[in-house]
Structure 1
Amino acid sequence: MTSRIISQLIILYFLLGIVESCSDFVFLVDTEIDDSPLGRGLQRRRDLVLKAAEQLDLSTGLHRVALIIYGKRPSDELLAGSFDDFATTDEFVQVLKSEFDALLLRNETRRLLPSIGSADALEILLKRVLSKKRMNSPVVVLAFTDGRIRPNEAARLERISAQLSKKHYIHTFAINPEGSISVERLATLELLTNGDKKAIVTSQNRQISAEQKMNDILAPFLSCQKFSKSRILRRKPKVATTAAPRQVDPECLIDVVLLMDFSGGAVDKREKYLNLGAELIKDVKLGPDAVQVAFVRFSGPKRTDTVFHLKKHQNAKNAVFEMLATPSLGGTTRIGAAMLDAFREFDAKFGGRSTAQKVMIVFTDGFSQDDPTDAAVKLYQENIRLFSVAVEDHNLPADFDNLKAIATNLLKMARKLNCVQTRKKGTPGI
């Protein structure tokens, strides 16, 4: 079965988990000189920024960094460097020192543009930086600012911060080294963190310095600990019987969701997708102690349709029969939204098992009106193994970037789904 499936698959991309990467950092640095003598507030900010920067390990590639500088500047270009622009930590530190020194040196002839606020900096992050992030790597946003709000900025800052907070891979921290901060400026720090007070670093608590609190926050990201900002924890179902438990091979306990693009653009590929899906499961043992399969079709906005849930079929032939009889939907294509909708199929009420391995296989050409990257990251954080499958089309080649954003390795999964039959022949499982 495996060889027949693999011979028909034109595109198989393995992405999630192949790169040993750590964190991507974004430094948002407000360089506005405060009203204190000699700009001491900015000097304290400078010291903290440099101490954070010196902890990065850029030369190995485990960490990467982007730099956005705002405030009163001689230029309206806020992006001082993106993720690929700083090869070493020393190089990044030198750029920071140069930026700060140029502002702290008194130069009455230098012309500065009107003050640029945090909302503008976040917009640069959203539009020009995040597209270059690494898959599987958290993005740690460090906003070094005194919290000064610019005129008519609050509503826009709140909107952009809320938009960023919905991205599960982003962790935003607002850092102000001052010990005395006004209520208005604290409110700005809360806007930057979308109301998360624990993500605000100051020196207001005399028992712990801003530097120490910043280091505590950075530690898990610097050491490459793997964790999710939002994790769903499910309780194990209560045992309602005293009968002896059945012997179940955990390697064969798999919940699979087949998600197929039935949009207007894929109407000529529908039959091929169905045949590939049928070939994948037709010889697999289905049931509560083995593999379970759900089938979901999708097209445009709010057009994700579950054909059958995980708990419905315990006979592969019946599952294949119902799947092959499913008509197209037509319309546009929203891969990311469909992936998040299909994620609900792993819920216990539809037959999802807390002890099962969870797999989603997306059959699509990759062309979508939304970006599936955020959805792929969300599912990865929920321990869903993702695969993408496309079929050959000489007239309209598949969108490789979107498929890569979804995919892992289907070859091993094809073997795992057939693990019961394979092991009868003496072949070890994967």
Structure 2
Amino acid sequence: MPQFAALVKQNSPAVVNISTKQSISPAEMLPNASPSPESDELFDELMKRLFERDGSSGGKPFDFDSNSRGSGFVYSSDGYIVTNHHVVIDADEIKVRFTDGRELPAQLVGSDERTDVALLKVAATDLPVLRMGTSAPLEVGEWVLAIGSPFGFDHSATAGIVSAKGRSLPDENYVPFIQTDVAINPGNSGGPLFNLDGEVVGINSQIYSRSGGFMGVSFAIPIDLAQDVIEQLKSKGAVSRAWVGVYVQAIDANLAQSFKMSKPEGALVAQVMKDGPAARALNLGDVILSFDGKPVTNAAALPPIVGNTAIGKKVVIEILREGKRKTVTMTVTELPNSPKAVASTHSPVAAPVAGTLGMKLSDTEAGVWVDEVIGEPARSAGIAIGDTIRQLDGQTVTSVAGLQAIAIELDVGKTVAVLVNREGSARFLPMKIEANARE
């Protein structure tokens, strides 16, 4: 077993506890505290007086304080501190406490929600600094150690191994997380993850839990990704990153079969933004195999590659289109703050039609709307009420009649891809055609 004592002793002075305070108005605490006919009148009157105090009644407005705790580490000796975005977001007051007992106020230099990285600054010099390593050489099974403040217990050390690399989490597409079995709990967020050489290889960020506490699965932001974000926050207080203007999804064995692929690989283009940089280069149903010379093994691999590409760079993209490999070129641009997805709307122009691939459908201005799922193969494919069908077997669908014409020509037993728009996001679903289900 490895010995961690020297590593902890050497690095603990540069690991800090971070506490924040946020003012919460009474209206935010009880937004529905207005009187109602069904509730107790005396209680309503008391709540009204409590939450609507102002100068006219002789009282003064007041706020409640919400406190939270996290961890961080010294990035540079002149007072820059790294932590998580979610630790300090919306904080009115931030304090940093060191192992020697000093507690200093901190200013937020900048924060990046997409990577969950934030940079703070305290008025101090000659601070102990951690050594930055690299996350790329990490191997599954390698020992790692975390130092942080779980539940407010300062400078607690926990150890484990790397469980996996390149993990993609929901709504966290820009981070290929390092998964570990290091015990991480509330309060560890923002603290460093070390290799056995005492180098920072990650920033502890999230846990997977059904209980709210540690259950053997935790996630850290790779330091290779975080350092670029930190340097941008340090120089300009914000992060600029490139984008392609597409939404991609993973490819499983069934989708691979429907796209005539020998095995699942690459990132499947499910939506192309109308005004995005890829509008003229990529099509729905393209499978991205490499981007700017870097292999795209799966959908989770693409966002970090794109995000680290220089804005304005012309890149070559290798794709699979209609079963054939080809290359396209495009120039990446800066990611807008809020790229808009295409929303589905339901304005029926005809009564629903039953019996088409196990669905009741109706024509709308946005496409073919799924009013009801009544059988197979739609049910097994995962189609849901409210989906808008845009493609079937690679052919564009604009009406129920058009969908029926495509469906009747499909071979029984064939697996085809169905492109649907669901709650503003597009995705492909594999559908296996069964006998008597095409009409």
Judge same fold: TM > 0.5, yes or no. Answer: no
More helix per residue: 1 or 2?
Answer: 1
Structure with the largest fraction of strand: 2
- Give me the TM-score of the superposition, normalised by structure 1: 0.24
Structure number with higher relative contact order (C-alpha < 8 Å, ≥ 6 residues apart): 1
When normalised by structure 2's length, the TM-score is: 0.24
